[in-house]
Structure 1
């Protein structure tokens, strides 16, 4: 996925540059589609869903909005937000940082976090997961996908864009969501090759979680 090279770019700059190329590379993931099906099978009709790091809106927001759910997509990239607004007009999209934007507690039935934490520090990732958990109603669902590698501030190139990647080993991702007040209902680990000339196979971890009845950990 990454090769060692160059200084860090901000997440917004990286995904502004990638635009629709990111969708072409990743939207065909069978595991991502299966994860969305898992969520659809459990969501009440007309649920309110937050898509944190919504990208172009496809597949996540498109699938959920197409099933009749009320989707708010949030992304730091203006280019991605504009693409999503055009491609998935039945959902709402905002260009904002989910780590700091106002989020009412217990206001969503589900939260999706598909590969949107990897350019944050470990402390930031943990804080965002806690924040998103608090935004879930008790009993609400959170689906998180990441690349489960034990790396911190790794300097490299992703689809031609310079980045610094931080992630956790799989068992530490599970510990992180549990510490936030979530119960892991199921998990899936797969290898996926993005549809991009410079991409190599990469491990993907999907966690399907539920918020408990009490308040999440701060």
Structure 2
């Protein structure tokens, strides 16, 4: 295996645009974005956590008339996203430390943003997200569900450690953060990149009561 990269920033600085080439059109993300566009009010404020290259999520939300801010730990991803989606704002930041006003977002999306966080960190971030959402605000979470913690894997030529939850356990943690789960969707994704294994994906849709 290649030298282990210990942080998400190091990983995605190294991968850059290659991430979009391998994983740019995942059906579960497309479904999550369509769902948000259907339910959001006009010109909604949307926070995209782990915004990556800005496509497809931020690009499609901006095209639908929404005001999007993306945060990502990778300086390279932020650079690419600013070039590809000039209609959104992108900030280099770690979601564990980033600050924003309570109740200030109509929607928050997090697509594959938590797999390099510990379980305790994921729980804390979910609680922060619930605080950031306005009453009635929407949350869309997409991840790779699995009962794993700090497991080494090979990902696009880099060695990383990943953590996740089984679907039911993750649903319970979204609820424990104070959000109402409105639906789930599971599917298998087969990347087109040679040598890349199929992945199980899950979308958890939720809203903040009120």
What is the TM-score normalised by the length of structure 1? 0.93
The answer to whether the 8 Å contact 2:3/2:158 transfers is no
The answer to whether the 8 Å contact 1:5/1:155 transfers is no
**Superposed CA RMSD:** 1.2
Deviations 1:63-107 (A, max 9, x none): 001111000000000000000000000000000111101111100
Structure 1: how far apart are the matches of 2:119 and 2:5? 16
Matches within 5 A, 1:172-211: 172-211=169-208
Structure 2: how far apart are the matches of 1:131 and 1:110? 13
The answer to whether the 8 Å contact 2:178/2:208 transfers is yes
The answer to whether the 8 Å contact 1:51/1:73 transfers is yes
The answer to whether the 8 Å contact 2:5/2:158 transfers is no
Q: Residue 134 in 1 paired to residue 131 in 2? A: yes
Q: Which residue of 2 aligns with 1:124?
A: 121
Runs of 4+ with deviation above 4 angstroms? none
Q: Which residue of 1 aligns with 2:150?
A: 153
Report the Cα offset of residue 9 of structure 1: 2.2
Q: Between Structure 1 and Structure 2, how many residues are aligned?
A: 210
Q: Which residue of 2 aligns with 1:51?
A: 48
Q: Which residue of 1 aligns with 2:78?
A: 81
Structure 1: how far apart are the matches of 2:66 and 2:39? 12
Q: Residue 19 in 1 paired to residue 11 in 2? A: no
User: Which residues of structure 2 form unaligned runs of 5+?
Assistant: none
The answer to whether the 8 Å contact 1:105/1:135 transfers is yes
Report the Cα offset of residue 31 of structure 1: 2.0
Report the Cα offset of residue 118 of structure 1: 0.2
The answer to whether the 8 Å contact 1:182/1:210 transfers is yes
Q: Which residue of 2 aligns with 1:60?
A: 57
Deviations 1:127-163 (A, max 9, x none): 1111011100011000000100000000121111111
SS of the aligned residue for 2:126 comes to helix
SS of the aligned residue for 1:177 comes to helix
